[in-house]
């Protein structure tokens, strides 16, 4: 029933492959998100280097989920405001952000994740996307 016991290898193998994919996408995003302007953006919310690293990791996790769920229209997920501020910073680094989106598209078939403030004021819709 829960993937334990005889005949459960296939679901467990699939789960491991999915976990590996999530980790790989996370690493791709994390590797492309550690630059000076991102650290400056983190410093608005995080005081220590360790807290800043955790914020960048959280950003990479959120963007990984959006990429893997193909949430290019922001129908499914919204980032917490602190993490969203990092996304703003990344988008402003157009070459770096575009290169990341292209890398994710080529390696994993992820769509280009555009950022829009169109629904930002609709708190009900934002809450539904969390």
The residue ranking higher by pLDDT, 5 or 63, is 63
Q: Do the beta carbons of residue 101 and residue 113 sit within 8 Å?
A: yes
pTM attached to this predicted model: 0.81
> Rounded to a whole number, what is the distance in angstroms from the first to the last CA of the chain?
29
Q: Which of 28, 6, 26 is nearest to 18 (CA)?
A: 26
Which positions ≥6 away from 96 have C-beta within 8 Å? 32, 35, 90
The residue ranking higher by pLDDT, 116 or 120, is 116
pLDDT number for residue 13 = 81
Average pLDDT over residues 104-113: 96
Which positions ≥6 away from 24 have C-beta within 8 Å? 107, 108
Question: If pLDDT is split at 50, 70 and 90, which confidence band does 12 have?
Answer: confident
């Amino acid at each position: 029933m829960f993937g334990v016991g005889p005949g459960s290898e296939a679901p467990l193998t699939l789960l491991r492959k999915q976990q590996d994919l999530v980790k790989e996408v996370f690493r791709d995003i994390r590797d492309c998100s550690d630059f000076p302007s991102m650290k400056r953006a983190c410093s608005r919310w995080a005081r220590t280097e360790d807290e800043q690293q955790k914020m960048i990791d959280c950003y990479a996790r959120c963007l990984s989920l959006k990429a893997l769920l193909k949430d290019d229209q922001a129908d499914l997920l919204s980032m917490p405001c602190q993490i969203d501020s990092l996304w703003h910073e990344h988008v402003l680094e157009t070459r770096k952000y575009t290169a990341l989106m292209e890398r994710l598209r080529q390696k994993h078939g992820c769509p280009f994740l555009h950022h829009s403030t169109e629904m930002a004021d609709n708190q009900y819709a934002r809450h539904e996307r969390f």
